[in-house]
């Protein structure tokens, strides 16, 4: 069986940025990706200098084209089902079709959203309802927006943030009863808070027009933001015995290495929280440089 220097699980911004650093460091790299990136619903990605407004599909296509120039990289379009340690110097990455022998592994599969129990919210997500105002707030500036959030902390953080882009904001807690000081916090800014459960989102082709509540209140909105829960897309790190903190964050050192030697992680996978393309790509490049330095240092040990 051929033995690869680096196996990267996840072909998003973090994974492919890491791959670029590693192939240029003359490492044989294999990338596993099954095209289930959560930003597929995104129409435009913003905040990445020279790439502002690019679609995720175009970003991935251009990244693959950059990598394809190097003979020491291989793409595998498959889901990784398990990673197991073979010996002190190698791991086996398993897919439904084949096993692959790897010296070092980078986990970069990212996260996925778990939405509040609001009817049909997923059909509006990425078109008129979003989760990141830094990514999509500018295009909604000064418009009548709504924030969907079911936690005090989410409402306090995101509500304050959204007032940077619009003064016409409604907050919907979908049945979650808020503390009085949260009402007081937003009252002076003219923000309406509706605690009643949501029974319907009305719109066409993913464009929100109206929100209907169980108390028969109906509020017209042109779009909004949601505070979802974020979960990892797989249990590969847990299966390897990697350590997590009490908040569920994957524990890594300053080099991006987990508690299991030669298993690294980058991007959203580490903190189980969303990040921009720019930040994910930067983290992937940083961890890849550390991985290569560990290869280099091993020659002198």
The more confidently predicted of residues 45 and 146 is 146
CA proximity to 224, closest of 280, 150, 143, 294 = 143
Q: At what angle do helices 13-24 and 56-68 cross, to 10 degrees?
A: 10
CATH 3.50.50.60 is the classification of domain 116-226: yes
User: Please, which residues have CB within 8 angstroms of residue 215's CB and are 6 or more apart in sequence?
Assistant: 196
pLDDT-based confidence at residue 192 (cuts at 50, 70, 90): very high
* Predicted local confidence at residue 43, as pLDDT: 81
Q: What is the average pLDDT across 160-188?
A: 96
- Residues 162, 136 contacting (CB under 8 angstroms): no
* Cα gap 293→301, rounded to integer Å: 13
Q: What share of the chain has pLDDT > 70, as a percent?
A: 100
Q: What is the pLDDT of residue 116?
A: 92
Share of the chain above pLDDT 90, in %: 88
What pLDDT sits at residue 37? 80
SS3 282: helix
| Per-residue model confidence as pLDDT tens digits over 210-244 | 999 999 999 999 999 999 999 998 999 999 999 99
| Residue 1 confidence (pLDDT) | 72
The CATH code belonging to domain 3-112+230-298 is 3.50.50.60
Q: Model-level pTM? A: 0.93
pLDDT digits (tens, 9 = 90+) for 77-125: 999 999 999 999 999 999 999 999 999 999 999 999 999 999 999 999 9
Q: Give me the helices (H) in 45-108, please.
A: 56-68
Name the DSSP letter for residue 250. Answer: B
pLDDT at residue number 236: 97
pLDDT value of residue 133: 95
Q: Is the pLDDT of residue 275 over 80?
A: yes
Q: What is the pLDDT of residues 24-74, one digit of tens each?
A: 999 999 999 998 887 777 888 888 989 898 888 899 999 999 999 999 999
In the Cβ-directed half-sphere of 89, how many Cα atoms lie within 13 Å? 5
SS (H, E, C) the chain: CCEEEEEEECCCHHHHHHHHHHHHCCCCEEEECCCCCHHHHCCCECCCCCCCCECHHHHHHHHHHHHHCCCCEEEECCCEEEEEEEECCEEEEEECCCEEEEEEEEECCCEEEECCCCCCHHHHECCCEECCHHHHCHHHCCCCEEEECCCHHHHHHHHHHHCCCCCCEEEECCCCCCCHHHHHHHHCCCCEEECCCEEEEEEECCEEEEEEECCCCEEECCEEEECCEEEECCCHHHHHCCCECCCCCECCCCCCECCCCCEEECCHHHHCCCCCHHHHHHHHHHHHHHHHHHHHHHCCC
Average pLDDT over all residues of the chain: 95
CATH 3.50.50.60 maps onto the chain at: 3-112+230-298, 116-226
Does residue 37 or residue 260 have the better pLDDT? 260
């Amino acid at each position: 069986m051929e033995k690869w220097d680096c196996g990267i699980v996840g072909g998003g911004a973090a994974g492919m940025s890491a791959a670029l650093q590693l192939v240029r460091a003359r490492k044989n790299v294999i990338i596993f990706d099954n095209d289930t990136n959560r930003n597929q619903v995104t129409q435009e990605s913003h905040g990445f200098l020279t790439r502002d407004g690019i679609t995720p599909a175009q970003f991935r296509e251009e990244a693959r084209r950059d990598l394809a120039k190097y003979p020491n990289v291989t793409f595998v379009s498959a889901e990784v089902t398990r990673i197991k340690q073979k010996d002190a110097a190698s791991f086996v990455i398993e897919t439904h079709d084949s096993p692959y022998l790897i010296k070092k592994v980078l986990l970069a599969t990212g996260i996925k959203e778990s939405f509040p129990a609001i009817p049909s919210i997923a059909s509006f997500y990425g078109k008129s309802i979003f989760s990141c105002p830094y990514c999509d707030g500018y295009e909604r500036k000064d418009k009548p927006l709504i924030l969907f959030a079911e936690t005090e902390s989410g409402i306090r953080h995101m509500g304050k943030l959204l007032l940077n882009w619009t003064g016409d904001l409604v907050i919907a807690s979908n049945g979650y009863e808020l503390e009085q000081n949260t009402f007081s916090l937003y009252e002076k800014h003219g923000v309406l808070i509706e605690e009643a459960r949501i029974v319907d989102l009305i719109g066409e082709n993913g464009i929100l027009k109206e929100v209907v509540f169980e108390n028969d209140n109906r509020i017209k909105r042109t779009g909004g933001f949601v505070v979802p829960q974020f979960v990892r897309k797989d249990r590969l790190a847990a299966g390897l015995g990697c350590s997590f903190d009490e908040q569920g964050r994957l524990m890594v050192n300053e080099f991006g290495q987990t508690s299991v030697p030669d298993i690294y992680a980058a991007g959203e996978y580490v903190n189980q929280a969303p990040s921009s393309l720019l930040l994910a790509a930067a983290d992937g490049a940083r961890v890849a440089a550390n991985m290569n330095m560990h290869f280099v240092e091993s020659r002198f040990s």
